[in-house]
Structure 1
């Protein structure tokens, strides 16, 4: 998704979903499944923050680590605009590096993405063509961090199991991505994608992202207590190279009232205190 359904995912991997179910035994439409899954993956709460640790393992078993704090704030339009601010803590060669995203879903233009490299004191705009490249050497992609827009794919319900809606997603612009389609296993209760498999052709997937652990995180929303089932451990695997990246999300906090001006270019070189905590 331009800004995902994937994770997605990392956002899926980072920010959870309140437990909601379809009334009775009514089977939801594919449009409802996709909308609720996108919301569960990326948009829970008005904002969210926490610390993420990545363990990047190559095909020879060598491990590198990345740790960063992330702020996420939703825009005024429901499940559309959104902003991310990622501040790197470890290792020393990436410390103080910043990745920032302004999502523009459904506006006919690409997201704005910036990368600040402190070793060069350089702010770099990340082109739309780079969004499906590796995020700081991990097996997650830039697009996985801020998610993928459902409008970028066509969706079909393949089957329903006791636990999952299994959905096939085909890119509307296949020249812009390296995959032919991906299959998402979406939890029927929380609508969180628990596993995503990417295919270059029919047969075996070449890449997967899978949720390993979910915790319920309490918060307050509009003055009322809520619970967000939050993905706190996940793994992305490159089945061609044999590498994988395990990601752990710690100390998640929702609805802190983060200010809009935290997500501006002036903070790329001098990160706000909110992302240092």
Structure 2
């Protein structure tokens, strides 16, 4: 009887040891597999701004102030990656309303330095260069900033993994040059499956959230997960801007000549029409 009990106890100990060993291995593998904050933000940046070799989309923007008054803008966005680099080109051409028709925004994005940004105002036949210090100001009266169009330079902030859930990574980011921006920090919720940021909350020096950006209605287009709606809320003013995207396509073979200063006054009609 004692022998049977001894054998049973030995067997239970082996099972327990096996389970513990398995759990330890799984935990170790989980730790090894967890990406760093740097890896997460790099993947999120790629998913958000670098899908395909190039891309095109039509956008309808609805701007609402704190009193419920609304304005709309319609425009087309063309984008191309510079092969073998992290550089990009963007061209944004407005079609509606009439007072914004043929207003054009051009960006030469360079992660190693300040981006070059130009805005063409047809009523004045004026090309205005957007200074680096103006990149976090309103884009055509919306709650979206110039910097939001092509993305913030990843090297401008320190990033830490603040939280992890079953579906999301949550990063906490603080600016390296606090005097160059209006926020004290921002927190980003990144979907684990697509690596798309689905929510960003900006906080002020008092630790209060004052601005929220959200990406939603994610669809797979040409093999790339793509948000088809973006919303920006200004909690201080009470206003918000919603942008809906349609006609999204990737890998169209857009030529480099589209992204030159010449296109500011002469937008490339053949690439603006839906293909």
TM-score range, shorter chain: 0.7 to 0.9
- Provide Cα deviations, 1:218-246, integer angstroms capped at 9, x if missing partner: 2xxxxxxxx11100012000000000001
- Residue aligned with 2:265, SS: coil
- Residue aligned with 1:170, SS: strand
Separation in 1 of the partners of 2:227 and 2:209? Answer: 23
Bigger fraction of residues in helix: 2
The question of 1:65 aligning with 2:72 is answered yes
The question of 1:92 aligning with 2:98 is answered yes
- Provide Cα deviations, 1:6-28, integer angstroms capped at 9, x if missing partner: xxxxxxxxxxxxxxxxxx85211
Shift of 1:267: 1.4
- Residue aligned with 1:93, SS: helix
Shift of 1:76: 2.0
Which residue number corresponds to residue 32 of structure 1? 39
Separation in 2 of the partners of 1:125 and 1:77? Answer: 27
Which residue number corresponds to residue 150 of structure 1? 154
Q: How does 1:251-270 map to 2 (within 5 A)?
A: 251-270=247-266
Correspondent of 2:60 among 53, 61, 65: 53
In structure 1, the gaps of 5 or more residues are 1-23, 219-226
Shift of 1:70: 0.7
The question of 1:43 aligning with 2:47 is answered no
Separation in 2 of the partners of 1:267 and 1:134? Answer: 23
Which residue number corresponds to residue 196 of structure 1? 200
Separation in 2 of the partners of 1:253 and 1:212? Answer: 18
Shift of 1:203: 3.4
Q: How does 1:161-200 map to 2 (within 5 A)?
A: 161-200=165-204
Structure of higher CA gyration radius: 2
- Residue aligned with 1:240, SS: coil
Which residue number corresponds to residue 20 of structure 2? none
Which residue number corresponds to residue 9 of structure 2? none
- Provide Cα deviations, 1:34-56, integer angstroms capped at 9, x if missing partner: 11011111111000001011000
Which residue number corresponds to residue 228 of structure 1? 224
Shift of 1:276: 2.6
> TM-score, structure 1 length as denominator?
0.85
- Provide Cα deviations, 1:56-86, integer angstroms capped at 9, x if missing partner: 00000011001100100001234x1000000
How many residues align? The count is 243
Higher relative contact order (CA 8 A, sep 6+): 1
Which residue number corresponds to residue 3 of structure 1? none
